[in-house]
Structure 1
Amino acid sequence: MTEPQASGAATGKNPITALRERIAARPNYPWYVVAVTCVGSFMGQFDASVVQLALPDLAVRFETRETVVSWVALAYVVAFSAALPPFGRLCEMFGRKRLYLLGMTIFLVTSALCGMAGSLGELIAFRVVQGVGAALLGANSIAILVHAAGNERRPRAMGYFSAAQAVGVSLGPIVGGLLLGSFGWPAIFWVTVPVGIVGVAVGWLVLPDDSPSPRENGFDWLGMVLLGPAIVALVVVLNHAADWGIASAPSLSLLVAGVALLALFIWRERGAKAPMIDLKLFGSRPFSLGVFAVMLSFALLYGMFYLMSYALIRGLHEPPTRAGLRMSAIPIALGIAAPIAGMLVKRYTTATLSLFGMALSTTALLTLSLIALEPVPSRAIGMVALAVFGAGLGFFMAPNNSATMGTAPKGLSGEAGAMLNLARMLGVSLGVASAASMLRFQTARISAETQTDVFFYGHPMLGAVESSFGLMFGIALVATVATLIRRRLAPEA
């Protein structure tokens, strides 16, 4: 008969410490760590998608223009993007677990503060702080996941991570529509609070302790001063290019300032004793191509979201709730396909799976262009095409992310993970900005040719969206070429 395991009191250990040791000793412990990182990934994506849905209500509530209230979304993106690179370095210096949990705590506290905001200024300020908390999560999540999963489990773990992001995106418009209709806009911020509380508690128990590794040469403060404003300038240009025009004075001024600061940052990092971003990362061409492909894949995803929202609401005149349900076919299929792709990496190379995924997505785009959005559209074929598009991105994203992390130089997994998350955020901005600009150009062209109001007449709007799919084909083509080059440079991937 097996003797009962000694309790924490009997062994002289704190009961919590004993519980954490028992959890760490379980065979499936690495997957517990992966699950905790997926919670943070889910929260960030859910919050981003649900806020987009609430912007019209916020404009009415605070009696302001939609261009002003758009800063509720933009403030989060800007803060996240600017804070992510320095946190990638600081987390190595002060310990990943503690800063990951700090980021989740900041996120849930500011979620509650956003729900209690009494003015638009307060809401935007809280969103900035929330973006900083999300950056702490983003700077740590992939590094913690990769370390816990190891090389053998990494592809499958990255698949689950991509699935968590997709589930967060898909639930945003569905849950957000219900919350907005039933409880009002504050509810969309309060809903993530209990998820964050569970994430902090479970993360404290499950995440492995790590030792800080302070660097002898300190932290590159000048690099941070140069990079932060550069990212802010470039992200703002991407998000407002469609409204301002890329040739307008504000766009050109910010673009020149962002590029100049970025060039100064690169010059600084080459000679810094303790660079904030070790440029050795980009000395690996497969890694650089993988990061580029990450950005393009998210540009493809969010550009598609933008175009299909206009096709469904302005072209097919569907109510927002139904349109949201139809569009959720993309992230739901992505969430199903990504873990499957992660498991298939043992049988096929990541490049093969990524190319297969991009082929699926382009086939879906072709189907939408030729059949689903014709003057007598087929809703059923359209739903299938959207699901195939999402599944294709799932087969592309998970293997590409895993291969990219696998080609990162040893000892730089933390910075590599931060770069992947930064590329994701830049891809979101690039996709929405480019799709908005293309749709604006196509609607102006079709309006001039047909003498109709494209924005409120169904079929011309569908024609404008179909024409804008050419941009999506272009992005998919560039991502395919980047993957082919990466496969040539790293055949084993």
Structure 2
Amino acid sequence: MATVRELTERLLVERPRPRVIATRPYAHWLAVGAVCLGAFLGQLTASVTALVFPALERTFDAGFAAVAWVSLAYLLVLVVLLAPVGRLSDLIGRKTVYLGGFAVFALASFGAGAAGSLWILVACRAVQAVGGAMMQANSVALVARGVPERAMRTALGVQAAAQALGLALGPTLGGLLVQHASWRWAFWVNVPIGLIGLVAGWFLLPRTDPDRAGRRLPRPEGRFDLAGLLLLAGAGTAALLGLSAASGLPLPAWAVAVLLLLAAGLGLALTRQERRADRPLIPPGLVNTPGIRTGLLIALVGYLLLFCPLVLGPVVLAGAGVPVAVAGLVITALPAAFAVAATVGGALLPGGWSDAARSRCGALVAALGLAGAALLPAAGAATVPTTAGSLAVAGYGLGLLLPANNALVMRAIPPASSAVGGGLLSMVRSLGTALGTALPVLGVHLAGPTAGGRAVLGLLVLVALTAAWAAGRTRNRAARTAPTASQVPSARSVLPGQGRKG
């Protein structure tokens, strides 16, 4: 009978694809398809969850601030685990960790749908984020490793399209499931997708390192920044708890102040830690470069602008008497327009425009759409189409802004540190999404769904205009002021899951 150690070793040995698949000329596209299932699943669960908030408030008799942790717990765990999961993948193989992510995600999704209390649901979402991190930390590397160089750009574009599809389908699917079935199906729908992804990845994904028969990979050089990881987790948790308490979570005022002060103190300690760490999670050599620093800030703001309406919209529309299924269709206008602009929208702009100009244009268009949504009447026959139109304009602007800004950031980073840049972009994206979830809760708590919603949208307009100003000042300065490879850690030093190496 096999021992536990023998079973563990068998699980950690990556199996090759069947020969009938590996020898096909299109085998690499089958691998891309398997990765796209994970990309689709991650964005689907990010956008579908906001539609269940009103139903969760009724089911568990909880406030908006409490049910928001169904999203915040997922995002917080995701931010914290991206780096250690990336290193774990270096040690035992990307395919192994990626497939494990599907299994964890599916099991946690089943538990979330069956949860009998809000905090069990939050705990299941935190476990779900473990699976999400296992997939997200490896998806880009699996695509880059599994396709020929000539097909790299196309393959990454296909993966981005899968993410956009999941983001766009989430609100519509969530609205239909909540109205015609139950909020529980918004989580259970992930189970069959996760199982399909697990089977597809087993047969279609190549081994991480064929030369080593899928066994353990060489250890990355340098000591992992565990202190930085713990400080990041502590600062993020304290900040989000403080915002939630200020938004209606039942905590005394002094606890809110303590949490926010603790978040600030841990943030300062994290800054000092990253300056002296061998393999910092957030390398100062990159973050302190003006062009890159501005680009990362714009990326954070962009995802704040993208996800804030997804969380705010269902609450405001429910207050206006719009059915949840219709609200889902209305909210879908934003991610759908984002997907269109991110894939083909840039072709409509003048060919001579720089990425900085495209970023500035996108931020201005997003501000215009958000201003339209803020000025719309609170109720009436025109609420649904006009809201959808305004959100579509905002989404289209964000679809122009984020890809162009990401290109500026990645172009400013030396090739040897591309993993660092990809990891930082993933981190600020998740942080922006978390803030985009927390801000609507605060606005609704302070002023109610209608007035609070307008105030939040007005604030988002100012944020978008600030991003446009920052993009205009940046221009192509990021490329001119980029650090040399000797000034920053190597590509394997931070968030290895974003690099080319398996």
Aligned residue for 1:328, secondary structure, equals helix
Cα distance between partner residues in 1 of 2:90 and 2:399? 30
Task: Decide which of 464, 468, 474 is 2:462's aligned counterpart.
Answer: 474
Please name the residue that 2:182 is paired with: 184
Instruction: Give matches, 1:252-401, under 5 Å.
Output: 252-314=257-319, 316-341=320-345, 347=351, 348-369=353-374, 377=382, 379-401=384-406
Cα distance between partner residues in 2 of 1:465 and 1:60? 20
Please name the residue that 1:72 is paired with: 70
Cα distance between partner residues in 1 of 2:65 and 2:443? 19
CA-CA distance at 1:292 after TM superposition: 1.5
1:223 aligns with 2:216: no
Please name the residue that 1:484 is paired with: 472
Please name the residue that 1:235 is paired with: 240
Cα distance between partner residues in 2 of 1:341 and 1:478? 22
CA-CA distance at 1:158 after TM superposition: 5.8
Task: Decide which of 415, 418, 428 is 1:413's aligned counterpart.
Answer: 418
Q: Aligned letter for 2:468?
A: T
Deviation string 1:190-220 (CA, Å, 9 cap, x unpaired) is 2111211222233344444334341343433
Deviation string 1:362-407 (CA, Å, 9 cap, x unpaired) is 2223434556669885654443222121111111122323333333
Cα distance between partner residues in 2 of 1:168 and 1:191? 12
Please name the residue that 2:191 is paired with: 193
Deviation string 1:21-42 (CA, Å, 9 cap, x unpaired) is 335x43x93x655544443232
Please name the residue that 1:114 is paired with: 112
Task: Decide which of 404, 408, 411 is 2:409's aligned counterpart.
Answer: 404
Residue 90 to residue 259, structure 1, CA distance change in 2 (3 Å): farther
Deviation string 1:411-441 (CA, Å, 9 cap, x unpaired) is 4433433322221221122223334444555
CA-CA distance at 1:73 after TM superposition: 3.0
Cα distance between partner residues in 2 of 1:287 and 1:153? 28
User: Conserved in 1, the CA contact under 8 Å of 2:290 and 2:478?
Assistant: no
Name stretches of at least 5 consecutive residues in structure 2 with no aligned partner.
1-14, 210-216, 483-502
Cα distance between partner residues in 2 of 1:346 and 1:276? 38
Q: Aligned letter for 2:476?
A: R
Q: Aligned letter for 1:258?
A: A
Scaled by the length of structure 1, the TM-score of the pair is: 0.79
Please name the residue that 2:8 is paired with: none
Scaled by the length of structure 2, the TM-score of the pair is: 0.78
Residue 74 to residue 204, structure 1, CA distance change in 2 (3 Å): same
Q: Percent identity?
A: 32
Deviation string 1:164-186 (CA, Å, 9 cap, x unpaired) is 34432332332223323444333
Name stretches of at least 5 consecutive residues in structure 1 with no aligned partner.
1-13, 444-453, 456-460
Q: Aligned letter for 1:260?
A: G
Q: Aligned letter for 1:102?
A: G
CA-CA distance at 1:142 after TM superposition: 3.8
Q: Aligned letter for 2:106?
A: L
Deviation string 1:321-370 (CA, Å, 9 cap, x unpaired) is 22221121111111222111477899453323322222222222343455
Residue 394 to residue 32, structure 1, CA distance change in 2 (3 Å): farther
CA-CA distance at 1:252 after TM superposition: 2.5
Aligned residue for 1:318, secondary structure, equals coil
Cα distance between partner residues in 2 of 1:123 and 1:310? 20
User: Conserved in 2, the CA contact under 8 Å of 1:142 and 1:417?
Assistant: no
Residue 127 to residue 272, structure 1, CA distance change in 2 (3 Å): same
Residue 401 to residue 32, structure 1, CA distance change in 2 (3 Å): farther
Please name the residue that 1:40 is paired with: 38
Residue 426 to residue 247, structure 1, CA distance change in 2 (3 Å): farther
User: Conserved in 2, the CA contact under 8 Å of 1:296 and 1:479?
Assistant: yes
How many residues align? The count is: 459
User: Conserved in 2, the CA contact under 8 Å of 1:246 and 1:252?
Assistant: no
Q: Aligned letter for 2:23?
A: R
CA-CA distance at 1:80 after TM superposition: 1.6
Residue 287 to residue 91, structure 1, CA distance change in 2 (3 Å): farther
Deviation string 1:74-109 (CA, Å, 9 cap, x unpaired) is 322222222223334443444333322222221122
Deviation string 1:281-319 (CA, Å, 9 cap, x unpaired) is 3254433322211110111122223444344332x4322
Cα distance between partner residues in 2 of 1:338 and 1:278? 28
CA-CA distance at 1:152 after TM superposition: 8.1
Cα distance between partner residues in 1 of 2:309 and 2:61? 30
Task: Decide which of 62, 79, 82 is 1:81's aligned counterpart.
Answer: 79
Residue 201 to residue 275, structure 1, CA distance change in 2 (3 Å): same
User: Conserved in 1, the CA contact under 8 Å of 2:306 and 2:436?
Assistant: yes
CA-CA distance at 1:249 after TM superposition: 2.5
Residue 58 to residue 326, structure 1, CA distance change in 2 (3 Å): closer
Please name the residue that 2:139 is paired with: 141
Cα distance between partner residues in 2 of 1:180 and 1:307? 17
More moved, 77-86 vs 365-374: 365-374
Cα distance between partner residues in 1 of 2:47 and 2:171? 7
User: Conserved in 1, the CA contact under 8 Å of 2:411 and 2:479?
Assistant: no
More moved, 370-379 vs 192-201: 370-379
Please name the residue that 1:22 is paired with: 23
Cα distance between partner residues in 2 of 1:428 and 1:391? 18
Cα distance between partner residues in 2 of 1:174 and 1:233? 33
